[in-house]
Amino acid sequence: MHGTPRAVATVAASTALLAAVHAVTPAGPHEWHVVHVVAEKLYVVPLLLAAGTLKLSWSLFVSLAVPSLWLNHALRDWPADPMLRLEQGGQAFSLAVIGVTATLLFERWRRASAQIQVAHEETLACLVGALELREPETAGHSRRVAAYSVLLADELGIRSASECAALTRAAVLHDIGKIGVPDRILLEEGRLSDGDWAVIRRHPEIGATLVGDLSWLRSTRELILSHHERWDGHGYPRGLAGEEIPFGARIFAVADAFDALTSRRPYHEPIPLEAATERIALDRGLAFDAAVVDAFLRVPTARWNAARAASQRSHLHHGGSEAAEAW
């Protein structure tokens, strides 16, 4: 709502309403005098609304305009008594001070929030960078899975900014638990033993534990923990089935598989988009939620290609390689 036309309209409407009530109720004692007095006190409301919802310059303008409006009204009944004049002038001045102070405080709070946001994004990039340093083959995978997940979420009608942010963060971090897998297994190019696979299958739990300690990433914890669950209950680590699996995890299970199929791996070449789509369709209602697969099938090929290209551009911008992942 910050700085939107709706916020401007709300401030303008509340100011106009107050000024109108103030103007139609006479200043002297009368039946409706209480309304007049209350209206006078309520002039702080548009000031605080402006400070909380308008851009800095607009809010400062309101901080001067509202006291001027108030003073204009007072001048029409300007008292002869110098003390009363001082009181009227003082009230207009107080309104201006309240408006400017609230504007500056809200601005400081907004800047601090933006800095925290930047710090979060940098921490996220640092965590993913740590994984990519250990296993360069996975470079780009996390960002592609995030881009595909956002596309799927959009197709499934998930529009809430906070839900999309949690989904993107979880998708970017979904394999972060591989940090806890020993190099001997993580970097192995040959066949892995059953014991090695058991170690690799611990990566959702390691990842969930890792992010669970960061309060701002807590919303991603369940999604990371559940990204290898299957709709039919044969996934890991908890063997959840159907709607027991968080919706976000069902979304990026499809995105993860799609990227795995269409990217180069040590044991297979990337398969064409159409063939990957067919493979995912075969797992509808088995590995994957049917609703997510249906959404996946509705997205045109051009949008997948665009999402892939955009995620690779942002990855190269961050200085990584373009190779794909192993698991």
Q: Which residues bind Fe ion (CB under 5 A)?
A: 175, 256
Give the shortest CB-325-to-Fe ion separation in angstroms. Answer: 6
Query: Which residue, 69 or 186, has its beta carbon nearer to Fe ion?
Result: 186
Query: Which residue, 7 or 255, has its beta carbon nearer to Fe ion?
Result: 255
Give the shortest CB-143-to-Fe ion separation in angstroms. Answer: 11
CA neighbor of 78 nearest in space, from 69, 88, 70:
88
Give the shortest CB-210-to-Fe ion separation in angstroms. Answer: 13
Give the shortest CB-280-to-Fe ion separation in angstroms. Answer: 15
Query: Which residue, 39 or 186, has its beta carbon nearer to Fe ion?
Result: 186
Query: Which residue, 39 or 261, has its beta carbon nearer to Fe ion?
Result: 261
Q: Write down the H helix ranges in the chain.
A: 5-24, 33-41, 44-53, 56-76, 82-134, 141-155, 161-173, 183-186, 194-200, 203-212, 218-225, 247-262, 273-282, 290-298, 301-317
Query: Are 307 and 151 contacting, i.e. CB atoms less than 8 angstroms apart?
Result: yes
**Contacts of 314 by beta carbon, 8 Å cutoff, 6+ apart:** 143
**Contacts of 170 by beta carbon, 8 Å cutoff, 6+ apart:** 219, 220, 223, 224, 227, 248, 249, 252
Which residue carries 């059953």 as its tokens? 194
Give the shortest CB-137-to-Fe ion separation in angstroms. Answer: 12
Query: Which residue, 175 or 289, has its beta carbon nearer to Fe ion?
Result: 175
Give the shortest CB-199-to-Fe ion separation in angstroms. Answer: 13
Which residue carries 């209350």 as its tokens? 38
Query: Which residue, 40 or 175, has its beta carbon nearer to Fe ion?
Result: 175
303 sits in the region (left: phi over 0; alpha: psi -120 to 50; else beta) called: alpha
